[in-house]
Every structure is written in structure tokens, then in C-alpha cells.
Amino acid sequence: MRVFPQPGRRPAGDERARRLVIPVAPENPAAAVAGPAPVLPGRPEPARPQVRRAERADWSGGIPCPWCDTPNPPGRNFCRQCAMALSAADKDGYRTRTWWQRLFGGDVHREAPWAGERPRLRRGGRARLLSWAALVLLAVPLVWTAAVRTDDAVNGVVDHFVKRAPAPTSAAKASHTDPKHGPKFAFDALKNTFWGTGHGGGGQGIFLEATFAQPRRLLNVIITSGMSTQPDKYATQARPQVLHATVFSSDGSSRTTTLQLDDVPGPQKRKLRGDNVVRVRLTIRSAYGVADDRQVCIAEVEFFTRSTAKTL
């Protein structure tokens, strides 16, 4: 208890010392801080169940579905994925419905319609008959073409790999020619002679023709354009650009091939096919370096056939 001095009276010395030693309560004590209220312990909650994935069986060696390729365990009649029939599946793991089985096997194992899908209406025997008729109509032309073209196909393969040999000509002529440079100079196996049309301009329609002593099977032709293979003399006269090569066979038939030549000096090899050929006509359609004072010139023409030489 704190003792207050009386007014007008000073406290004695012992009382002052006692005040310094004994703690004195504050005049305005602070309010006590309220703590958390006591609560009862809660009830224990049950543990939540753990979600586990269902173990999938390994059917890697099972029968694959012919519609969705899902492996199925042996003994099933319908796919576990798409519910389609497994009767068309191969028990060894491979599909047995090949194209010829699908064509001739009918619709025994056809795919069943899916949910919500309207099945296609099938006409039965009439549709099958029409399918066979269409197949026959397509097969007959193919068989006929194969029978007719078999010889041409075999000869084409042989011509591609066979060794070539020169096919010399027996005679030559031209519709127009230079008197000093006749058509024989185009087949003399010399590069310093040439055949000239004898007329200025492009020479359209002028032809050079070679004849063989006996029928030949032609494979290729080599044409050397210009009056010479030397670059300084090559461009002094016009050179053929497009030639129509017409081969005449011994049976009277003919076939024309278009030969496109480059404007370069030297020989140019082109493909020229023909069986039992007795003569060849080269008709000028266009030329390089055309001028009124220039004539179209061809230095050399060489034909090649199959080689009959046998190697050891």
C-alpha cells in the first residue's frame, strides 16, 4: 500500500528509503490481455481412400482386331475396343483379308455399322454381276495391250543395254542442195565436209534422206550441225534447230520423231527408234543463225543399230 504524505509535511527519511526499496503499484494498472479461449479436441476424420489405376492385362501376343488393330485375348469373338467381329482376324497375328479375298470373298466378314450409322443397302446378286462385268471389261483391254506390246517392251529393254554399231547408208538424196556440197557429204564420215541446202533463210521443209541396203533396226542417230566442228567456222552458216526424223519400214509404215538440237559445235546424240527401217528422212523445221546469205548446213549424220559382235 502506498502512503501519501500529508500536505504541508515532508516524509521522514526512513519512509523515503522504504519507497525506494519496496515496489510501488502503478496508479493506472493496464488491462489484462485476453488469451485464446480453451477448446475441446476435435474428432478424428477417416482417411481418404487412395485411387489406384486398374492393371491392364498385357495382350501383346493376342489377336489384333482387323478394324482397329487392338490386341485381344484368345477366345474372344468381338473386339474389346470397337466391338467388331474378330472372325476375319488371323490367329497368327496377321490379317488374312487380302485384296483378292476382299474381291472374291464377298461380304461375309465386312465391317459392321457403327452406332448411329445407317448400314449401306446392298443389292445382292445384281450388284455382284455388275461388278464382275466391269472387271471383265477392264481386264480384256489390259490383256490385249499386254499381248500386243510385249514384243515392244522386250525390245525396248534390249535396246537400252545392247551394244551399238554403225549402220552405213547406201544412198543419199535431198529436196534442195548446194551443187558443191551435195547430200553424200553428210554421210561420208568426215567432219570437214558438209551438206548445204543451197538456199538462204531457215530452209523450212527442205529434207535430207538416207537409204539402207537392207532393213535395219535403228537405235540412235548422231548429228553434227554446221559446216564444220571448228568454232571459228561453225557459226558462219545456219545450223538446224528442230528436225523431223521420219523412219520408213519395209512394210510401208512410217513414224516421225522430233529431234531438238543444241547450237553447239560437235556431234549430238539423239534417240531414234525404228524396226526394219529402209530409209530415214530428216526435214528441217527451224534453224539457228538464219540469214538471207546463209544456208542451213549439216556436217555429218550417223545412224546406229544393234551390234552383232559377240564378246568372249
pLDDT tens digits, 277-292:
999 999 999 999 999 9
**pLDDT tens-place string over residues 50-95:** 877 767 777 666 778 877 888 888 778 888 888 887 776 655 544 5
221 within 8 A of 272, measured Cβ to Cβ: yes
Cell 519496496 identifies what position? Answer: 22
Q: Residues 287, 289, 292, 294: what is their CA dihedral angle, to the nearest 10 degrees? A: -90
pLDDT at 123: 57
Pull the grid cell for residue 272: 531414234
Task: Give the residue from 234, 295, 236, 292 showing the smallest Cα distance to 268.
Answer: 234
**pLDDT tens-place string over residues 141-161:** 887 777 666 666 666 676 677
Percent of the chain past pLDDT 90, that is, above it, reads 36
| Coil, helix or strand at residue 40 | coil
Task: Give the residue from 286, 271, 292, 166 showing the smallest Cα distance to 225.
Answer: 286
Distances (CA, A) of 92 to 95, 96, 99, 110: 9, 10, 19, 20
Pull the grid cell for residue 142: 489390259
pLDDT at 32: 64
Q: What contacts 42, CB < 8 A, 6 or more positions away?
A: none
Residue ranges of the chain with pLDDT lower than 50? 1, 93-94, 312
pLDDT mean across residues, the chain: 80
Domain 165-306 fold: Jelly Rolls (2.60.120)
pLDDT at 94: 47
pLDDT at 62: 75
Where along the chain do its domains lie?
60-109, 165-306
For the chain, the C-alpha Rg in angstroms (whole number) is 53
